[in-house]
């Protein structure tokens, strides 16, 4: 009876403390030990916490998959510090799980490294499967070894990715495909062969307080019916290094894209590019209060400008871009 009473008191304290916090970053709890948060410690006594130790060599695909298969909604899986190698794809096939890596408070210290398969081909390290919802991924580090496929593929709605690094993919650091309401915050995507963060057919997403730099193509794409996506306070630096994309941010057939309070600089090409290969409108897109400088193209470029309708831009600093501020081509 006493344990039940204390659990209820802890729940009431948490609800009271959470009221009035509208910013999602403020709502996130602080980690207190071993990747476990104060809220989780107080509230999820019935949940199970599982650990993946670093093997520093042997393939850990099966070991991590087994932990996920044993878990239920609310459970937490901790990726221990050290080197982890994966030659297969681990499927997050349960809703409501948290996958969290150990870290030093600034960067992840769990190094999830993609290894070649027997055929020499690459695979994604993590997939959030179709119809899986409310996955939380926090403080993980994935190095793709420049093997094919993205480092992580997100097919499940309402996935949240925080404080993680996705680098050296032979494709994209993060691929979001037909998944909606994805929240990405405090994430770094860099040195990927094509795109840092790729969105296709995925709406109502927010990318906030991130860094995406030195990718071979775009830092971020908003493509193929990815409507109402927000990119806020992101440093988008030195992308399209090998001209595998259309610029720093590529937009195609996406309504309601909002890009604001970002720094976009030193792109090997245009900073913001409406590519319009799909020949569909980009309606109601807004680009505002950004610093867009020193790019080897236009600050804002529109291909097939007749498709860019109800567009707004204001408050942008657009200097030293070799193509000028705003340009268009048929």
Which residues are CB-neighbours of 108 under 8 A, at least 6 positions away? 101, 102, 139, 140, 141, 163, 164, 165
> CA-to-CA distance for 38 and 206, rounded, in angstroms?
26
Q: Residue 116's pLDDT is what? A: 83
> CA-to-CA distance for 187 and 162, rounded, in angstroms?
6
> CA-to-CA distance for 26 and 213, rounded, in angstroms?
26
* Highest CATH level, class, for 171-330: mainly beta
Calculate the CA 103 to chain-centre distance. 18
144 with 109: CB under 8 angstroms?
A: no
Phi, psi values for residue 151, rounded to 5°:
-70, -40
Q: Residue 37's pLDDT is what? A: 58
What is the DSSP annotation of 80-117? Answer: -SEEEEESSPEEE-STT-EEEE-B-SSSB-EEEEE---
Per-residue pLDDT tens digits for 217-248: 999 999 999 999 999 999 999 999 999 999 99
Q: What's the DSSP call for residue 130?
A: T
CB atoms within 10 A of CB 16: 9
Q: What's the DSSP call for residue 241?
A: T
**Locus of tokens 């403020």:** 26
Regarding pTM above 0.75, the answer is yes
How does residue 117 score in pLDDT terms, banded at 50, 70 and 90? confident
Q: Residue 35's pLDDT is what? A: 58
Q: CA 289 → CA 111, 233, 261, 299, distances in Å?
A: 36, 10, 5, 13
Q: Residue 120's pLDDT is what? A: 59
98 with 127: CB under 8 angstroms?
A: no
pLDDT(80) > 50: yes
86 with 110: CB under 8 angstroms?
A: no
293 with 318: CB under 8 angstroms?
A: yes
Q: Is 327 exposed, middle or buried (0-12, 13-18, 19+ CB in 10 A)?
A: middle
Averaged pLDDT, 185-190: 98
Tokens of 261: 């309070």
**Locus of tokens 């995507």:** 189
pLDDT(86) > 60: yes
CB atoms within 10 A of CB 160: 18
> CA-to-CA distance for 265 and 236, rounded, in angstroms?
7
CB atoms within 10 A of CB 111: 19
Q: Residue 27's pLDDT is what? A: 40
pLDDT(317) > 70: yes
Q: Residue 19's pLDDT is what? A: 40
Phi, psi values for residue 224, rounded to 5°:
60, 45
Which of 164, 158, 168 has its CA nearest to residue 131? Answer: 158
CATH 2.160.20.10 domain locations along the chain: 171-330
CB atoms within 10 A of CB 232: 16
What is the DSSP annotation of 30-69? Answer: PEEETTEEHHHHHH-TTS-EEEE---SSSB-HHHHHHHHH
Cα dihedral 212/263/210/249 (nearest 10):
-50
């Amino acid at each position: 009876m006493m344990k039940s009473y204390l659990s209820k008191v802890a729940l009431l304290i948490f609800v009271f403390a959470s009221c009035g916090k509208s910013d999602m970053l403020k709502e996130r709890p602080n980690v207190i030990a071993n990747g476990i948060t104060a809220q989780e410690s107080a509230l999820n006594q019935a949940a199970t916490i599982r650990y993946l130790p670093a093997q520093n060599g042997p393939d850990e695909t099966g070991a991590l998959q087994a932990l996920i298969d044993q878990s239920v909604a609310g459970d937490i899986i901790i990726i221990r510090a050290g080197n982890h190698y994966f030659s297969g794809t681990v499927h997050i096939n349960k809703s409501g799980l948290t996958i969290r890596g150990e870290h030093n408070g600034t960067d992840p210290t769990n190094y999830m490294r993609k290894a070649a398969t027997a055929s020499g081909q690459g695979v994604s390290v993590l997939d959030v499967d179709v119809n899986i919802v409310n996955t939380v991924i926090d403080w993980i580090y994935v190095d793709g070894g420049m093997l094919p496929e993205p480092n992580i593929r997100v097919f499940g709605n309402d996935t949240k990715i925080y404080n993680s690094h996705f680098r050296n993919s032979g494709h994209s650091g993060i691929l979001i495909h037909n998944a909606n309401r994805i929240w990405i915050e405090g994430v770094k995507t860099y040195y990927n062969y094509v795109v840092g963060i790729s969105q296709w057919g995925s709406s109502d997403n927010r990318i906030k307080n991130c860094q995406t730099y030195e990718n071979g193509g775009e830092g971020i794409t908003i493509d193929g019916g990815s409507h109402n996506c927000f990119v806020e306070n992101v440093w988008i630096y030195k992308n399209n290094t090998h001209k595998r994309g259309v610029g720093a941010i590529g937009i195609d057939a996406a309504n309601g894209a909002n890009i604001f309070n970002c720094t976009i600089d030193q792109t090997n090409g245009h900073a913001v590019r409406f590519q319009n290969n799909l020949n569909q409108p980009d309606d109601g897109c807004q680009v505002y209060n950004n610093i867009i400088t020193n790019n080897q193209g236009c600050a804002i470029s529109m291909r097939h400008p007749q498709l860019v309708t109800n567009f707004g831009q204001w408050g942008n600093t657009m200097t030293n871009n070799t193509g000028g501020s705003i340009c268009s081509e048929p």
